[in-house]
C-alpha cells in the first residue's frame, strides 16, 4: 500500500513539474512576443516620423502658393 501511495505521489509530482515548466515556457514566450511587438511598434513609429519629416522637407522646398485675399 505504501509503495502504491509513493508511486501515485511521484506521478503527481511529475505532472505538477511538467505543468510548472509549461507555464514558465508560456510566460517567457509571452514576454518575447511583447518585446517583439514593442520593437515593431517603435520601428513603425520611427518610419512614420521619418516619412513625415521628409514630407515637411519637401513642402518647404516647393514654390509658395499665391492666393488673393480680400
pLDDT in tens, 21-35: 999 999 999 999 999
Residue showing cell 518585446: 35
Grid coordinates given for 52: 513625415
Q: Where do the domains of the chain lie?
A: 1-48
CA–CA distance from 14 to each of 1, 9, 27 (Å)? Answer: 20, 9, 20
Grid coordinates given for 25: 515556457
Mean pLDDT of the chain: 80
Residues of the chain with pLDDT under 50: none
pLDDT for position 51: 82
pLDDT for position 61: 66
Four-point Cα dihedral 15, 17, 22, 25, nearest 10: -170
Among 3, 51, 27, 57, CA closest to 19:
27
Amino acid at each position: 500500500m505504501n509503495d502504491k501511495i509513493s508511486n501515485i505521489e511521484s506521478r503527481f509530482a511529475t505532472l505538477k513539474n511538467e505543468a510548472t515548466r509549461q507555464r514558465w515556457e508560456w510566460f517567457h514566450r509571452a514576454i518575447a512576443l511583447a518585446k517583439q511587438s514593442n520593437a515593431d511598434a517603435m520601428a513603425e513609429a520611427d518610419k512614420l516620423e521619418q516619412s513625415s519629416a521628409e514630407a515637411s522637407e519637401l513642402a518647404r522646398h516647393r514654390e509658395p502658393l499665391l492666393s488673393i485675399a480680400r
